[in-house]
Structure 1
Amino acid sequence: MHKSLVLVAGAVLMSAAMVSARADEAAHATRDDLALTKFAENPDIVTPVAMTFDEKGRLLVVESHTHFRPDDYQGPPHDRIRVVEDTDGDGKADRFTSFYDQSDLTMGLELGPDGFVYVTTRSELFKLRDTDGDGKADQRVDLVKMDTKGWYPHNGLSGIIFDEQGRLYLGTGENLGESYTITGSDGKSIHADGVGGIIYRLDSDGKNLTTFATGFWNAFDVAFASHGRLFMIDNDPDSRPPSRLIHVVEGADYGFAFRYGRSGLHPLQAWDGELPDTLGMTSGTGEAPTGMVYYNRNRMPADLLGNLFVTSWGDHRVEAYKLIPRGASFTAKMTTLVDGGEMFRPTGMAIAPDGSVYFADWVDRNYKLHGKGRIWRLSSDTEVHFVTAPDFVPLTEAEKRAEKLRQSTDRQQLMQAADDRDPFIRQAAMLGLSHLKNPPRVQAQRLAGMDPKAVIPAALKSDSVEDRLTAVRWLADERLTELRPNLLEALNDDRVMSPRLFAGALAALEWLDEGKVDGKGATIAHYVADKLHDAKASDKMRAMALRAVEPDYSALTLDLLRQFIEDGDHALQLEAVRTLAAKSDPERFELLWTIASDGAMPQDVRAEAIVGLAANVEKYGPLLGQLAAEAPAEVAAEATRAVRPGAPDIASKPTTDQAAAWLKHVGEGGDPAVGRRVFFNPKLADCSRCHRIEGRGGEIGPDLSVVGQRGSRQWLLESILQPSREISPQFTAELLTTKDGATHMGIMLPLPGVRSTQTFMDAAGQTFTIPIDQITDRKLMDISLMPPGLAYTMTLDELRDLLAYLMQLR
Structure 2
Amino acid sequence: MPRHVLQFLLACFVSAENVAAADPEPEVQSLQPGVELSLVAEHPQLVTPTGLDVDSQGRIWVVATHTHLPADDYTGPSHDEILVFGANTPEAGNDGDSNRSDVRNPRTRTAFYNATTATMDLELGPDGWVYLAERDRILRIKDSDKDGKADIEQDLVVLNSDAVYPHNGLSGLAWHPNGDLIFGLGENFANPWKLTGTDQVAIRGAGQGGVFRCSADGENLRQLTRGVWNPFGTCVRSDGEIFTVENDPGERPPCRLLHVVDGGDYGYRRQFGGEAHHPFVCWNGELPGSLPMVHPTGEAPCGVATLGRGLLVPSWGDHRIDFMPLRRRGASYDADLKTIVQGGRYFRPTCIARDPSNDDDNRRVWYLADWVDGRYNAHGLGRLWKLEIDLTQAKDWLGPLELEPKNNAARLAERLRKDEGSFDRSQLMQHAGDDDPFIARAALVALSRKSPSWTVPEFRRWSADERQHAAQALALAKAGPETWIKALLTDTDPHVTFEALKWIAFAEQKAFLPEVEAILNRSDITYDLFEAALATWNTLNDKPGAGVRDLDLLLARVKDNDSSPVLRAFALRLLPTGPRPTSDDGPLVRSFPPGLNVDLLRTLLEVNDAMLSLEVVRTCAANAPATHALLTEIADDADRDPVLRAEAVAGLAAVSADHLDLLLRLCDYEQREVREEALRCLRSQELSQQQLAAVKQIGQRHPTSSDLVQAVTDLKSVKDGRPAVEDIKAWQSLLDEIESPPNAAAGRRIFHHARVTSCSNCHRHHGRGSVVGPDLTSLGERNTTDERASLLKSILTPSADMAPEFQPRTIVLKDGRTFTGIRLRSYTKEQLRDATGRTVTFNTGDVESIVDARVSFMPNGLADTLTIRELRDLIAFLQHNADASPTGLRNQTTK
Coarse TM-score class (shorter-chain normalised) = 0.7 to 0.9
Distance 1:563 1:584 in 2: 18
Cross-structure match for 1:319? 322
Against the structure 1 CA distance between its residues 648 and 807, is the aligned structure 2 distance closer, same or farther, given a 3 Å change threshold?
A: farther
Contiguous gaps of at least 5 residues in structure 1: 1-21, 297-305
Distance 2:128 2:63 in 1: 18
* 1:756-798 C-alpha deviation (Å, 9 max, x unpaired): 8655455699975423554465344343222222122211221
Matched, 1:169 2:182: yes
Cross-structure match for 2:821? 747
Cross-structure match for 2:635? 596
1:576 Cα deviation (Å)?
2.8
- Per the normalisation by structure 2, the TM-score is 0.79
Distance 1:736 1:568 in 2: 49
Distance 1:789 1:276 in 2: 34
* 1:208-263 C-alpha deviation (Å, 9 max, x unpaired): 21222112222111123575432211133543322222223322332333323355
Cross-structure match for 2:797? 722
Cross-structure match for 2:655? 616
Cross-structure match for 1:300? none
Against the structure 1 CA distance between its residues 436 and 630, is the aligned structure 2 distance closer, same or farther, given a 3 Å change threshold?
A: same
Secondary structure at 1:471's aligned position in 2? helix
Q: Which has the larger radius of gyration?
A: 2
Distance 2:860 2:236 in 1: 37
Distance 1:262 1:591 in 2: 35
1:346 Cα deviation (Å)?
0.8
2:424 aligned partner, one-letter code: D
- Residue pair 2:194, 2:204 contacting (<8 A) in 1 also: yes
* 1:256-298 C-alpha deviation (Å, 9 max, x unpaired): 33323355655543333444453333333222211111212xx
Cross-structure match for 2:388? 379
- Residue pair 1:59, 1:84 contacting (<8 A) in 2 also: yes
Secondary structure at 2:667's aligned position in 1? helix
Superposed counterparts of 1:87-236, under 5 Å: 87-88=88-89, 94-112=107-125, 116-129=129-142, 135-137=148-150, 140-193=153-206, 195-225=207-237, 227-236=239-248
1:359 Cα deviation (Å)?
0.6
Matching residue within 283, 287, 293 for 2:295? 283
Against the structure 1 CA distance between its residues 524 and 640, is the aligned structure 2 distance closer, same or farther, given a 3 Å change threshold?
A: closer
1:544 Cα deviation (Å)?
2.0
Matching residue within 431, 436, 444 for 2:450? 436
Matching residue within 619, 639, 644 for 1:579? 619
Distance 1:511 1:385 in 2: 53
Distance 1:696 1:123 in 2: 41
* 1:672-708 C-alpha deviation (Å, 9 max, x unpaired): 2221111112232221121111121223222211122
Cross-structure match for 1:309? 312
Matched, 1:339 2:378: no
Secondary structure at 1:707's aligned position in 2? coil
Distance 1:43 1:555 in 2: 57
- Residue pair 2:374, 2:827 contacting (<8 A) in 1 also: no
Cross-structure match for 2:689? none
1:149 aligned partner, one-letter code: D
1:361 aligned partner, one-letter code: D
1:467 Cα deviation (Å)?
3.2
Matched, 1:242 2:271: no
Distance 1:647 1:774 in 2: 41
Against the structure 1 CA distance between its residues 528 and 420, is the aligned structure 2 distance closer, same or farther, given a 3 Å change threshold?
A: farther
2:350 aligned partner, one-letter code: T
- Residue pair 1:23, 1:776 contacting (<8 A) in 2 also: no
2:802 aligned partner, one-letter code: I
Superposed counterparts of 1:191-590, under 5 Å: 191-193=204-206, 195-225=207-237, 227-262=239-274, 265-296=277-308, 306-353=309-356, 354=359, 355-383=364-392, 390-406=401-417, 407=419, 409-438=423-452, 441-498=470-527, 500-515=528-543, 517-518=545-546, 525-526=552-553, 528-530=555-557, 532-535=559-562, 537-550=563-576, 552-553=592-593, 556-558=596-598, 561-562=601-602, 565=605, 568-586=608-626, 588-590=627-629
Cross-structure match for 1:11? none
Matched, 1:731 2:731: no
- Per the normalisation by structure 1, the TM-score is 0.86
2:345 aligned partner, one-letter code: E
Against the structure 1 CA distance between its residues 787 and 229, is the aligned structure 2 distance closer, same or farther, given a 3 Å change threshold?
A: farther
Against the structure 1 CA distance between its residues 88 and 556, is the aligned structure 2 distance closer, same or farther, given a 3 Å change threshold?
A: closer
2:722 aligned partner, one-letter code: K
1:573 aligned partner, one-letter code: S
2:477 aligned partner, one-letter code: A
CA RMSD for the aligned pairs?
Answer: 3.4
2:871 aligned partner, one-letter code: L
Matched, 1:630 2:669: yes
- Residue pair 1:255, 1:273 contacting (<8 A) in 2 also: yes
2:182 aligned partner, one-letter code: Y
- Residue pair 2:276, 2:771 contacting (<8 A) in 1 also: no
Alignment coverage as a number of residue pairs: 771
Distance 1:259 1:463 in 2: 29
- Residue pair 2:198, 2:219 contacting (<8 A) in 1 also: yes
Against the structure 1 CA distance between its residues 400 and 534, is the aligned structure 2 distance closer, same or farther, given a 3 Å change threshold?
A: farther
Distance 2:838 2:847 in 1: 19
Distance 2:538 2:218 in 1: 40
* 1:693-727 C-alpha deviation (Å, 9 max, x unpaired): 11212232222111224872222222222222343
Moved more, 94-103 or 475-484: 94-103
Distance 2:208 2:866 in 1: 44
Distance 2:139 2:46 in 1: 23
Distance 2:873 2:616 in 1: 23
- Residue pair 2:374, 2:828 contacting (<8 A) in 1 also: no
Against the structure 1 CA distance between its residues 527 and 697, is the aligned structure 2 distance closer, same or farther, given a 3 Å change threshold?
A: closer
Contiguous gaps of at least 5 residues in structure 2: 1-22, 94-105, 455-466, 578-591, 684-711, 883-895
Cross-structure match for 1:27? 28
Matched, 1:690 2:759: no
* 1:392-430 C-alpha deviation (Å, 9 max, x unpaired): 444454434433443363211222333344443432221
Superposed counterparts of 1:619-698, under 5 Å: 619-644=658-683, 645=712, 646=715, 649-667=718-736, 670-698=742-770
Matched, 1:42 2:63: no
1:310 Cα deviation (Å)?
1.3
Whose RCO is larger (CA < 8 A, sep 6+)? 1
- Residue pair 1:264, 1:270 contacting (<8 A) in 2 also: no
* 1:344-398 C-alpha deviation (Å, 9 max, x unpaired): 1211101222222221112222333333221111223333899x99544444544
- Residue pair 1:506, 1:524 contacting (<8 A) in 2 also: no
* Amino-acid identity (%): 38
Distance 1:261 1:755 in 2: 22
Cross-structure match for 1:808? 880
- Residue pair 2:812, 2:819 contacting (<8 A) in 1 also: no
Secondary structure at 2:85's aligned position in 1? strand
Against the structure 1 CA distance between its residues 647 and 484, is the aligned structure 2 distance closer, same or farther, given a 3 Å change threshold?
A: farther
Against the structure 1 CA distance between its residues 314 and 767, is the aligned structure 2 distance closer, same or farther, given a 3 Å change threshold?
A: closer
Distance 1:526 1:766 in 2: 24
Secondary structure at 2:745's aligned position in 1? helix
1:436 Cα deviation (Å)?
0.8
1:114 Cα deviation (Å)?
6.7
Against the structure 1 CA distance between its residues 745 and 73, is the aligned structure 2 distance closer, same or farther, given a 3 Å change threshold?
A: closer
